[in-house]
Structure 1
Amino acid sequence: MPNPEAPRPSHSGGKRPGGKRPGGRKFVRAVLPERFRARVAAVSWRDLALTAGPFVLLFAVLAAVAIWFLNPAPPNTLTISSGPEGSAFHKQAERYRQILAREGIRLVVLESEGSLENLSRLRDPAAKVDVGFVLDGVSAEPADGSLVSLGSVSHQPVFMFYRGTEPITRLAQLAGKRVSIGRIGSGARVLALALFKANGIEPGHDTQLRGLEADDAVQELLDGEIDAVFLMGDSAKPETIRRLLFAPGIHMIDLAQAEAYTRKLPSLNRLRLPMGSIDLAQNIPQADTTLIAPNVELVARESLHPALSDLLIEAAREVHGRRNVLQEAGEFPVARAGDFPLSDDAARYYKYGKGFFYRTLPFWMASLFDRIVIVLLPIAVLLIPALRVLPWLYRWRIHSRIYPWYGALISLERGLLEGPAPADAERLRERLEEIELAVNRLDVPLAFVDQLYVLREHIAFVRRRLDGLGSEVDAVTE
């Protein structure tokens, strides 16, 4: 019976004495024991850490492996093999060096004897050369995948001059004559030998194929010591070409079979030297002249970093992209490979251009973001299904603390169905008390409290059955 003398709580304004409302966070903090509040936290951080921790560790390891092996940071130093000091290749490499320096990349320029030595250095791992200028058609060895092309960067026209009054329009007409085809080891000599071989002319026969230096060859042609000369690259300097075109009795070969050469030797191109392009006033040459020309490729080792590949092609556009007598503006560099396959990075650049980061950020920062994106993309593919699994694992961990007690409860209830003796009923009651105490101590997040209350209701249900059984046992005993 309630005590009529006991003071009744006031309900005016819905407040208890002291001005506190019976509800809200302040009331909960004042009434609930600290230990109980800890057990009904919104999230079980321990379970969350144990569930997500292995995934986080796995992704960290994958990211580290991807950064280390798949996309390392680009080096800040490159080495290019160019050509003799003062040559066109060497001057172009120096311009590359200045352009790359703007992006914080140091380019070391090595002098060389030309394409053949550049190629030899690129193939030699001990040479530590990353990139070099190589003339199409000079490689005698098949591509093995260790070297790739970043594209063709220029034409290398072949200028052929002869002495005499009879017009020469085919190389076969030089059979039996004295011809200078360039010094031994030069790209010009390799190409000239290939051209003569295509015409059935071999060294050591009636035709004398000499290996003179360019200046000596020009002088001997003017003096009548030789009948023809092949000039290309640094040998074909503008002043040298003008000197020969203005010399009496010296003519430039207008190659009538140029198109046939481009079909038989894929490294060659057909070019047209316009009439009057050397001297408009004196109309030299006096007619359009057909030339052949291999391309110069920018060849690199297959291991070249993609970011540096982009920088080198950008530099090539600045150095080789201008218009001149034999090429249009923007014609070079171009995604055309000769002796070596075009690299995947170069093909991507020619198709899509610079990436977003490299267009908008400094090189070092763009490289960092680019690496992060490349690493995160494959990890994200794994992360998406993992994020779907994590909630299920988290729920499973919480349920694994609740569901075992259902097994204990069912086992106890089956004991009741067997009609236990009074002593057994007391043992079952003690076991039920143990289960209830353990359940009350469970640490369960708020989102799963409803399942805890359902379990407690089931415990109460079993207790009622146990109490009813106890009453029946007492009645029978009496």
Structure 2
Amino acid sequence: MSKRFLCTPLIAGLALVLASGLAWAGTTFLTMGTGSPGGVYYPLGGGMSVVIQKTVDGIRCAAESTGASVENSRLVGLGDTDMGMVMGSVAYKAVHGQDPFQDSYPLVALFQMYPAPEHIVTTTDSGITSLADLKGKKVSIDVPGSGCSTMAKVILREYGYDLKKDLEIAHLSQSESVQALKDGIVDACFFNFAYPASAVMDLAATRDIALVPVGEDLADTIVEKYPYYLKTTIPGGTYDDVSEDVLCIGDSNVMVANKDMQEDLAYRVTKAIFENVDQGKHALVDIHPIAKQLTPQNAVNSPLDLHPGSARYFKEQGAQP
């Protein structure tokens, strides 16, 4: 057989490799830390990575399942991952080197994804309509050490309650709290999650519920003293029986990046995500309904400084911190 014909497949293979290399030349590869498959971060992050990859020229993006907030803060801060989904309070503590972090990490926010208001839920039969009405009542604040429990204690103490003398505190899980409120074992429950929440809707299906608001002055005091929390509102009509807007203290859920991310890259990534929230074949609302809260107004409400690239995009949309 002629050497010329033997070489032809080799030459063709080499040409294919070279062509493939040229196709990837100039391509930016991004990774995104999400969370466990059972939570919101995982599917939403997967949808965002698809949007970035399909709609932004020259960028490939892969979402990775991680241990969520604390792990993502470290991964992004160390430059091992480009972006990560993190609770706002955790991100703030990572930046400032507060427990559970021993070091500070150079994180900035690309955007807030959605708030997680602290729901204070009761039944209309309880007669509770304000924080003042909780005195002497049995109140569940979630399991010890949880973010919900921590925030509940902040709200109650800043209001002026002595948690050992003025209230009967129960540390029940979310499912246990729902059942206890249904059975009249507790008078009110604190929950921390994005709205609309299945636990509250489950309760509203069998009981007439009420949400207890946090007063404006108290809310201002808390966010000034605890800058990783934010004021947020559960819109009226979110739950049956609750027609008025309800002011809450909440945590945020933030997409973080390392502050060294290039400005133009941050701009293009942010623009792609927000232009595909509810439009196009890759619309994020088709992945998870929480994506409806991906609005420029929500996005800039972050406990971390915004990256200059994403801040530029939101300024173009008329939203600024």
Q: 1:252-298 deviations in whole A, cap 9, x for unaligned?
A: 22416146414541532242532x554xxxxx325314132443322
Match of 1:458 in 2: none
Distance in 1 (alpha carbons) for counterparts of 2:168 and 2:277: 36
Q: Shift in Å at residue 216 of structure 1?
A: 2.4
Q: Which of the numbers 29, 32, 38 marks the counterpart of 1:79?
A: 32
Moved over 6 A (4+): 321-329
Alignment partner of 1:243 is 2:202: yes
Q: Shift in Å at residue 146 of structure 1?
A: 0.8
Whose Rg is larger? 1
Alignment partner of 1:253 is 2:215: no
- What amino acid sits opposite 2:210 in the alignment? M
Q: Which of the numbers 149, 156, 171 marks the counterpart of 2:116?
A: 156
Q: 1:116-159 deviations in whole A, cap 9, x for unaligned?
A: 55445545x38x23322333345446645711111222232332
Kindly report which structure 2 residues correspond to 1:307-322, keeping only aligned pairs within 5 A, or say none.
307-318=264-275
Q: Shift in Å at residue 195 of structure 1?
A: 1.5
Aligned pairs, how many? 268
Q: 1:8-42 deviations in whole A, cap 9, x for unaligned?
A: xxxxxxxxxxxxxxxxxxxxxxxxxxxxxxxxxxx
Distance in 2 (alpha carbons) for counterparts of 1:183 and 1:160: 15
Identity of aligned residues (%): 19
Kindly report which structure 2 residues correspond to 1:316-355, keeping only aligned pairs within 5 A, or say none.
316-318=273-275, 330-332=295-297, 334-338=299-303, 340-351=304-315
Name the TM-score, length of structure 1 as normaliser: 0.47
Which structure shows the bigger proportion of residues in helix conformation? 1
Match of 1:265 in 2: 223
* Contact in 1 for aligned 2:265/2:309 (Cα 8 Å): no
* Contact in 1 for aligned 2:263/2:307 (Cα 8 Å): no
Kindly report which structure 2 residues correspond to 1:48-447, keeping only aligned pairs within 5 A, or say none.
75-80=28-33, 82-102=34-54, 103=56, 104-112=59-67, 115-119=69-73, 121-123=75-77, 125=78, 128-138=80-90, 139-140=92-93, 143=96, 146-163=106-123, 165-184=125-144, 186-201=146-161, 207-233=167-193, 238-248=197-207, 251-255=209-213, 257-258=215-216, 260-262=218-220, 264-265=222-223, 267-274=229-236, 276-278=237-239, 284-285=240-241, 287-292=243-248, 293-318=250-275, 330-332=295-297, 334-338=299-303, 340-351=304-315
Q: 1:303 to 1:326 in 2, by over 3 A?
A: closer
Q: 1:282-340 deviations in whole A, cap 9, x for unaligned?
A: xx3253141324433222222323344234313441465799999788445633431x2
Distance in 1 (alpha carbons) for counterparts of 2:160 and 2:27: 49
Distance in 2 (alpha carbons) for counterparts of 1:240 and 1:351: 36
Q: What SS does the corresponding residue of 1:225 show, helix, strand or coil? A: coil
Match of 1:20 in 2: none
Which structure shows the bigger proportion of residues in strand conformation? 2
**Aligned Cα RMSD in Å?**
3.7
Q: Which runs of 5+ in 1 are unaligned?
A: 1-72, 279-283, 354-478
Distance in 2 (alpha carbons) for counterparts of 1:205 and 1:122: 43
Larger RCO of the pair (alpha carbons < 8 Å, separation 6+):
2
- What amino acid sits opposite 1:97 in the alignment? S
Q: What SS does the corresponding residue of 2:299 show, helix, strand or coil? A: coil
* Contact in 1 for aligned 2:113/2:253 (Cα 8 Å): yes
Q: Shift in Å at residue 89 of structure 1?
A: 2.1
* Contact in 1 for aligned 2:31/2:61 (Cα 8 Å): yes
Q: 1:191 to 1:117 in 2, by over 3 A?
A: farther
Q: 1:110 to 1:272 in 2, by over 3 A?
A: closer
- What amino acid sits opposite 2:61 in the alignment? R
Distance in 2 (alpha carbons) for counterparts of 1:187 and 1:118: 17
- What amino acid sits opposite 1:91 in the alignment? P
Name the TM-score, length of structure 2 as normaliser: 0.67
Q: Shift in Å at residue 168 of structure 1?
A: 2.3
Q: What SS does the corresponding residue of 2:180 show, helix, strand or coil? A: helix
Distance in 1 (alpha carbons) for counterparts of 2:270 and 2:235: 27
Q: Shift in Å at residue 76 of structure 1?
A: 0.7
* Contact in 1 for aligned 2:82/2:257 (Cα 8 Å): yes
